[in-house]
Copies of this chain bind each other. A is one copy, B any other.
């Protein structure tokens, strides 16, 4: 066995347990597009800081989906980079929020995280022609399928966090938006990427990002702030803003576009516009899904980021002719 500690994680040879652990933690890191074991470790600590159940389900989801990919013979480089882990990690932690965690929950998680691996492979294949990454779409689709099915399946029991179906979307309760609303909304927005709203989780998420990439950390904070500010400007309810519900999709959009577009002023402006559009898309998905009793998850991030990446090569100021957008995670 050979083991080396590097800035981005472990370099292991000859030890399956340790190399799996490395892949699983990189998978947790990829939730925010970081192929970095230590970032994943801090993100996981952030989930545990919210609750042991959240941390355990996050790691279980990442482990199951990574192992299923390895067993089915997926590309080893992709598996080791955590590209098959992050959707399963999110399926795990989201189901832990919206369902009751009885014995049945864990059986379901095996199926859900395994399903996320298959959907991730399917979307990667479908999107290859457009050089688009699948992002967290597999997480969104699998989680929606499981949560949508629950009313007719009595062994899937919803937690109190599950939106109540067939209620109209609540009208905005404007309340007074203060500077503290924006600050807290930005912070909690980082935690909401992992479906949590604890400030301790947010701090650990930020620490992980800083460790992996200062650029990504700055993008995440500015994205969360931008989304929250746009939400406030549009008149979103104060509680929704404060709990970070307008922050997390925009944070992800910012991180993804900063990672995948060339660096330039025009690209930064373009990403800023996408951050604002993500806030509107986020309000739209929540309102459309509320009567179905489903949460919006990261659908707004996925939709807007796909659109922005697809459109970018058509705009010479964003992607200079001849340059291709960077591929990626």
Contact = CB atoms under 8 A, between A and B. Distances in A.
Given A152-B240, A169-B151, A281-B145, A307 B234 contact: no
Nearest to A291: B166
A211 interface: no
A316 B125 contact: no
Nearest to A165: B168
Contacts of A291: 165-166, 291-292
Contacts of A74: 314-316
B234 A156 contact: yes
A155 B288 contact: no
Contacts of A126: 130, 310
A239 to B, nearest CB: 11
Nearest to A273: B114
Interface in A128-149: 129-130, 144-146, 148-149
A152 B125 contact: no
Contact of A314 (B125, B237, B240, B309): B125
A152 B129 contact: no
Interface in A296-320: 306-318
A268 interface: no
A178 interface: no
A74 B123 CA distance: 28
Report the copy number of this chain in the oligomer: 3
A126 B311 CA distance: 9
A16 interface: no
A235 B156 contact: yes
A200 interface: no
A324 interface: no
A69 B114 CA distance: 40
A287 B236 contact: no
B148 A306 contact: no
B234 A122 contact: no
A168 B166 contact: yes
A154 interface: yes
A111 interface: yes
Interface of A: 69, 71-75, 111, 114-115, 118-126, 129-130, 144-146, 148-156, 165-166, 168-172, 174, 231, 233-237, 240, 266, 270, 273-274, 276-277, 280-288, 291-292, 306-318
11 contacts: A75-B314, A119-B307, A120-B311, A122-B307, A122-B308, A123-B310, A153-B236, A153-B283, A154-B172, A155-B234, A291-B292
Task: Identify the 7 closest CB pairs spanning chains A and B, nearest first.
Answer: A73-B316, A149-B283, A155-B235, A154-B235, A121-B311, A73-B317, A122-B310
